[in-house]
Amino acid sequence: MSTLEIRDLHVAVGDKEILRGVDLTVRSGETHAIMGPNGSGKSTLAYAVAGHPKYTVTSGTVLLDGEDLLDMAVDERARAGLFLAMQYPVEVPGVSVSNFLRSAITAVRGEAPKLREFAKELKSGMDALSIDPAFAQRNTNEGFSGGEKKRHEILQLELLKPKIAVLDETDSGLDVDALRVVSEGVNRFRASGDTGVLLITHYTRILRYVKPDFVHVFAGGRVVEEGGPELADKLEAEGYEAYTSKAASA
């Protein structure tokens, strides 16, 4: 049982305050959706928790099983059991998917997996996602389609088995195929009950495939409304307007 606990988190980029007191608790086995209009600070939350140097935490705490994540370097956060989907978004020329994943596992576990065991893990992970075996030899992220990027992301999840996964579904570029991959992957994790998922999204469509246990509405850099899955349906019907005006007057 793991818990990610975000308390009164304030984050700035330069001298501009973007997050203005975020409180959120995610436990293993739970799926939380963060929804909100563009520019409300959803990605900032993910970057701050990940430890991106551009995002300065000005106050508040982030604990993973009681340990202070904000005090840790990025790789230490990963070792502590945190996974961020956009952690490795870059093209890695000359590094195959297979080598990339073995390095990622080595970084998280603190030792390199034996080649034969890794090959077995990789194969079963790829089979589960219906990934063509040739994919393992491609250069990481080079020319990946939206669907391939997502498959790679979920494959990382399968192999790294984090305690808490933060998935920032950037608001564009998720085609139906990619959506299905993410949904199936997330649903498999939920079934294991070992991973807590924080799914960040602008659109409600992914939540038709992944039913969240909790929905948090983000506006103006804070959580302005919370509820169960029915809140996502309400947002789909009514949009964010009521919340943006609420945030502006807060």
In the block, which residue shows the tokens 């169960």? 228
Nearer to ligand ADP, 148 or 169 (CB): 169
Class of residue 193 by CB neighbours under 10 A (exposed 0-12, middle 13-18, buried 19+): exposed
36 binds, among ligand ADP, Mg ion, none (CB under 5 to 8 A by kind): ligand ADP
Binding site partner of 21, from ligand ADP, Mg ion, none, Cβ cut-off 5-8 A by kind = Mg ion
In this structure, is the dihedral angle defined by the CA atoms of residues 218, 223, 229 and 232, taken in order, positive or negative? negative
43 is a contact residue toward ligand ADP (CB under 6 A): yes
Nearest to 141 by CA among 77, 182, 188, 85: 85
Residues 117-176 that bind Mg ion (CB under 5 A): none
Residue 107: CB minimum distance to ligand ADP, A: 25
Q: In the 8-state DSSP scheme, what is residue 91?
A: -
204 binds, among ligand ADP, Mg ion, none (CB under 5 to 8 A by kind): none
Q: Residue 185, interface with ligand ADP (CB under 6 A)?
A: no
Q: Which amino acid would we find at residue 89?
A: P
Q: How far is the CB of 220 from ligand ADP (least distance, A)?
A: 10
- C-beta closer to Mg ion: residue 8 or 238: 8
The two beta strands, 196-201 and 164-169, are parallel
Within the chain, what is the greatest distance between any pair of CA atoms? 59
Please report, as ranges, the residues that interact with ligand ADP according to CB under 6 A.
13, 18, 36, 38-44, 54
